[in-house]
Structure formats: C-alpha cells, structure tokens
Amino acid sequence: MVEVQLPVELSADAQLGKAVFDAICADCHGENAAGRHGVGPPLVHKIYEPGHHGDMAFQLAVRTGVRAHHWSFGSMPPVEGVSDSEIARVTLYIRELQRENGID
C-alpha cells in the first residue's frame, strides 16, 4: 500500500523483530509493514508515529486486539503465542523502518 525505504542495516534486535514480523504479522500488514490492500494497514505510516501510537499501543494491540478506528480494514484480533520480548522486537523493527522513512 505504501512504498517503504529499507534501512541499510537493522539493529540485531530489529532483525529478530523482522523475523517475528515476517512469520506472524506480514500476512495482514504486508512485507516490510507496507500494508496489504483489503487486509491490513501499513505500519510505516504517520498514523503510527511514536507520538501518536507509542510502543505500548503495539503491545496492547497484540495482547488484546484493537477496534478499527483509523482504517476501514476491520478490527484486529488479539494475537496469541507471541511473547512481550518478541512484540518489543517487532516494535523496534517497525520503528527503525519508520525512521528510515522520515516518521519519528
């Protein structure tokens, strides 16, 4: 849905987060968090900048799900089987992608 510029290099924890993202999140949020038409929103988007959706928002979305409020994709269900440390690494991966794309 959006074009995502990739960092030259991800931090070690962000690389681990990318692996989790690719395995669990990419089906809905697309490759490199660019979104998937008709399925899920891009996370590399100003809506998800840290000042609007802090890191805890990602933890809560995964743990409890989130009611649709910015997009018309429908609500996100909770995601089971993901640890807090994995969510933190996925969040770091998303933040590093966002920074590379001018979203801080």
Domains of the chain in start order, with CATH, are: 12-100 (1.10.760.10)
Length of the chain: 104
- 8 Å CB contact between 90 and 57: no
What pLDDT does residue 8 have?
A: 97
Query: Counting beta carbons within 10 angstroms of the beta carbon of residue 94, is it exposed (0 to 12), middle (13 to 18) or buried (19 or more)?
Result: buried
Query: Counting beta carbons within 10 angstroms of the beta carbon of residue 15, is it exposed (0 to 12), middle (13 to 18) or buried (19 or more)?
Result: middle
Q: What is the pLDDT of residues 36-93, one digit of tens each?
A: 999 999 999 999 999 999 999 999 999 999 999 989 999 999 999 999 999 999 999 9
| Cα–Cα distance, 29 to 31 (Å, whole number) | 7
| Cα–Cα distance, 17 to 35 (Å, whole number) | 17
pTM: 0.95
- 8 Å CB contact between 71 and 2: no
